[in-house]
Amino acid sequence: MKSTAHEALERAAREHEKFLWGLCYRMTGVAADADELVQETYARALTSPPGRPEEVRPWLTRVAMNLARDRLRRRKREGYAGPWLPSPVDTGDEVVPSVEAELPGGGTTEGRYELLESVSFAFLLALEVLTPRQRAVLLMRDVFDYSVREVGECLGMSETNVKVTHHRARQAMETYDRARCVPTRALQERTREALMGFLGALASGDVAAAEALLAEPVRALTDGGGETYAARVPVVGMKRVSLFYRRVQQMRGAPDVLELRMLNGMPAVVAEWRESRPGTPSRVVLRVDIDAAGRITEVHSVQASRKLVGLCPSPSGGLG
Q: pLDDT digits over 130-172, tens only?
A: 999 999 999 999 999 999 999 999 999 999 999 999 999 999 9
Distance CA 284, CA 258 (A): 10
The reply to whether 260 falls in a domain is yes
The reply to whether 53 falls in a domain is yes
The reply to whether 33 falls in a domain is yes
Which of the pair, 260 or 55, is modelled with greater confidence?
260
Cα angle value 112/114/116 (rounded, 5°) = 155
Domain end call among 79, 112, 138 = 79
Total residues found in the chain within this entry: 320
Q: Contact at 8 Å (CB) between 26 and 139?
A: yes
251-310 confidence digits (pLDDT tens)? 888 899 999 999 999 999 999 998 877 878 889 999 999 999 999 999 999 999 999 988
pLDDT at residue 319, rounded to an integer: 43
Which of the pair, 290 or 8, is modelled with greater confidence?
290
Give backbone dihedrals phi and psi of 270, rounded to 5 degrees, phi first.
-105, 120
The reply to whether 154 falls in a domain is no
Greatest mean pLDDT among 13-17, 55-59, 129-133: 129-133
Domain end call among 20, 51, 79 = 79
Percentage with pLDDT > 70 across the chain: 87
Mean pLDDT of the chain: 88
pLDDT at residue 105, rounded to an integer: 44
Q: What CATH number has the domain bearing residue 208?
A: 3.10.450.50
For the chain, what is the radius of gyration of the CA atoms? 21
pLDDT at residue 280, rounded to an integer: 85
Angle between helix 132-142 and helix 148-155 axes, rounded to 10 deg: 140
pLDDT at residue 12, rounded to an integer: 66
What number is the average pLDDT over the span 27-42?
95
pLDDT tier for residue 320 given thresholds of 50, 70 and 90: very low
Domain with 249, as residue range(s), is 185-308
User: Is a pLDDT exceeding 70 seen at residue 123?
Assistant: yes
Residue of 283, 287, 289 lying closest to 314 (CA atoms)? 283
Distance CA 164, CA 147 (A): 14
Lowest-pLDDT range of 5-19, 74-88, 181-195, 235-249: 5-19
pLDDT tier for residue 54 given thresholds of 50, 70 and 90: low
The reply to whether 280 falls in a domain is yes
Number of domains in the chain: 2
The reply to whether 173 falls in a domain is no
pLDDT at residue 72, rounded to an integer: 95
User: Is a pLDDT exceeding 80 seen at residue 53?
Assistant: no
Which of the pair, 256 or 50, is modelled with greater confidence?
256
155 three-class SS? helix
Cis preceding-peptide flag for 50 (omega within 30 of 0): no
Domain end call among 20, 44, 79 = 79
Q: What CATH number has the domain bearing residue 29?
A: 1.10.1740
What number is the average pLDDT over the span 65-69?
96
Q: What is the pTM of this model?
A: 0.89
pLDDT at residue 95, rounded to an integer: 56
pLDDT tier for residue 312 given thresholds of 50, 70 and 90: confident
pLDDT tier for residue 227 given thresholds of 50, 70 and 90: confident
The reply to whether 56 falls in a domain is yes
244-259 confidence digits (pLDDT tens)? 999 998 888 889 999 9
The reply to whether 147 falls in a domain is no
pLDDT at residue 14, rounded to an integer: 72
User: Is a pLDDT exceeding 60 seen at residue 102?
Assistant: no
